[in-house]
Amino acid sequence: MTTIAGVATATLLDDLRVLVECESPSSDLAAVARSADVVARVGTERLGVAPERLVLDGRTHLRWRLGDGPRRVLLVGHHDTVWPLGTLATRPFSVADGVVRGPGCFDMLTGLVMAFHALASLGAATDGVTLLVTGDEELGSPSSRGLVEDEARLASAALVLEASAGGGALKTARKGVSLYEVRIGGRAAHAGLEPERGVNATVELAHQVLAVAALGDPRLGTTVTPTAGTTGTTSNTVPAAASFAVDVRVRTVAEQDRVDAAMRALRPVLDGARVQVRGGPNRPPLEESASTALLGRARAHARDLGLPDLVAVAVGGASDGNLTAGVGTPTLDGLGAVGGGAHADDEHVLVEPVAGRTALLARLVADLLDHPSATTNAAVPTGAGRP
C-alpha cells in the first residue's frame, strides 16, 4: 500500500482496525473507558509516550503533551462514536476495493490514527504539540468543553481531525449551535365538563412554536427549529403542562446573540399561562476568518506534496473546532479521513488519500512549530516545515 513522507498506509490501517473493533458509544461510560485504554495503547506505541488519562463526570479523555516547551500546536480528536454496542456484529471492520468500513471509521477514528502517524513521522521534533482525544464529542462535549477551550488558549493554532467534507474538502466554517427547552405551564380542567376553567398548555405551545420558528433567517443561514415536544396527560383533560426542544444553527456570533435574546424574551399569549426557557448557546460558530491563514498554509503544503488542491466549505454541523475558534485560536477543521456516511449505515473511508493527508498533517504541524507566524497571512515558502 501507499507510503508518503514516511507514512505507511498498511500500518495505519492495522491501527485503525484495533480502534474500530473496540466499540465506544458515547452514552456508555464503561465502553468509552475501554476505548480510551485501546487508544492510549496505540498512541503510546506510535508516540513513545503515554497520555494523561482525564476522567471528568465519568467520561474518559486522553491528553498527550509532547516535549517540555510552551504549547504551540493543538491537535483535537475524539474516540467516542454514535454506534451502540453490538454494531460490529452486523457491520464489521473491513478493507475491500480501496474502501474501509466499520462503525466510527469515518467519524472519526481514522483521524486519530492519522494524528498518531503524522506525529510519529516527525520523530523528536514535536516539542510544543498537544494531542487531545476526548470521549464525549458526539454528545456536545458536556464534560470536555472546558478542557478543549483551556488547551486551545495555550496554543497558537488548533488542527481538528474530524473527517473531511465531500471530496476531501476542509471545513473552514461551521455553524454555531444553541439548544433550548421551552416549558409551558397551564391549568388542568375536564375537557368535556368545564374546559373554560383550564389554561390549555397545548394551545400555548402552538403559539410559542410558531413564534420560535419565526426567529430563523434564511438570508443569513440562521435556522431555528422546534423539535421534540410533549403535552398533556389524557385525551379528556385540558393539559396543564407542555414543553418542546429548539435547535438553533447560526453562522455568526451576532446571530447567536440575537436569537438567544429573542428566546429569553418569549412571553405567554394565553391569560394564566407560564413560559420558561432553559438552555442557550452550546457551541459558538467557527467563522471563516478563524481558518483563512491556516488554509493558505495547508494549500501550499498540499501543492508541495503533489496532493490534489484543497477545497474549503462551510458546513452546518458543529465540532470541537467551534470551541477552539470560540476562544480566539486560529482553527482548521476537517483534516481527517476522506469518505462519507457519518452516522449512517454506509459509513466508509477511502484508502487512497489517507497517506497523503497524514503527510500533509505532519507537514502542517512542523511548519507551525517552526514558524509561529503561520497563523497570519504571510506567504509560506515551498518546503517550509518539511518533516
| CATH code for position 299 | 3.40.630.10
Number of folded domains that form the chain: 2
Give CA–CA dist 175/164, Å, rounded: 16
C-alpha 120: how far from chain center: 24
Domain boundary residue, one of 283, 316, 334 = 283
292-304 and 354-370 helices, crossing angle to 10°: 120
Give CA–CA dist 315/160, Å, rounded: 14
One domain, residues 352 and 370: yes
One domain, residues 10 and 99: yes
| pLDDT tens sequence for the chain (387 residues) | 566 666 789 999 999 999 999 999 999 999 999 999 999 999 999 999 999 999 999 999 999 999 999 999 999 999 999 999 999 999 999 999 999 999 999 999 999 999 999 999 999 999 999 999 999 999 999 999 999 999 999 999 999 999 999 999 999 999 999 999 999 999 999 999 999 999 999 999 999 999 999 999 999 999 999 999 999 999 999 999 999 999 999 999 999 999 999 999 999 999 999 999 999 999 999 999 999 999 999 999 999 999 999 999 999 889 999 999 999 999 999 999 999 999 999 999 999 999 999 999 999 999 999 987 656 543 333 344 433
80 a catalytic residue: yes
Residue 304, SS3 per DSSP: helix
Q: Is beta strand 348-350 parallel, antiparallel or unpaired with respect to 274-283?
A: unpaired
One domain, residues 310 and 238: no
Give CA–CA dist 366/385, Å, rounded: 5
Strand partners, 52: 63
From residue 45, give the alpha-carbon distance in Å to each of 66, 74, 118, 322. 14, 20, 13, 30
Domain boundary residue, one of 233, 260, 283 = 283
From the candidates 80, 138, 260, 367, give the one annotated as an active-site residue: 80
Q: Decide if 152 is inside a domain.
A: yes
Burial of residue 20 (CB within 10 Å: 0-12, 13-18, 19+) is buried
Domain boundary residue, one of 258, 283, 308 = 283
Phi–psi pair at 2, nearest 5 degrees: -65, 140
pTM for the model stands at: 0.88
| CATH code for position 228 | 3.30.70.360
From the candidates 137, 255, 260, 367, give the one annotated as an active-site residue: 137
Residue 117 in grid coordinates: 502517524
One domain, residues 72 and 89: yes
Residue range of the domain that includes 69: 3-174+285-375
